[in-house]
Amino acid sequence: MGITDYPRLCPCGTGSNYGACCGRLHSGAVQARTAEELMRSRYSAYALGNLDHVFRTWHPKTRPSDVSPVDGMAFVGLEVLEIVAGGPDDDIGVVEFRARLRGPDGVSEFCERSRFSRRAGQWMYVDGSIT
């Protein structure tokens, strides 16, 4: 079974099959068309432990030398709160989201306002601030 045939719902919350949603981006079959699509794929990558995708899509000027897993945390929900630009014809974009995580102390959440830019035609995560 190929990644596009994977029957699980995508962790990003679209309600789509993982293979037809973020799985396409994780496998490298396609690039994100929008900043939101990249943000959702990065959330799914964290949820599934695919930290190579997280590293690859982090702007080289701001990314850490190593992306480590969040120990003891499971990513259990994503809600997009606001999108500013970041469309197919834009070069910059902002996506604000709320993520829910489950850890040893129960469920918690955080909101982040993430900035994205195009680099060599591909959307990249630049940085984010917790709101």
Q: 4-42 burial by CB neighbour count: b if 16+ within 10 A, else e?
A: eebeeebbbbbeebbbebbbbbbeeeeebebbbbbbbbb
Q: Which domain holds residue 44?
A: 3-130
CATH of the domain at 28: 3.10.450.50
Task: Return d(Cα 35, Cα 88) in angstroms, integer.
Answer: 8
The total domain count for the chain is: 1
pLDDT surpasses 90 at 65: yes
Mean pLDDT of 43-60: 96
Residue 1's pLDDT band, with cuts at 50, 70 and 90, is: very low
State the pLDDT at residue 7.
64
* Confidence (pTM): 0.92
Q: How confident is the prediction for the chain on average, in pLDDT?
A: 93
Mean pLDDT of 68-83: 92
State the pLDDT at residue 3.
47
Task: Return d(Cα 83, Cα 129) in angstroms, integer.
Answer: 15
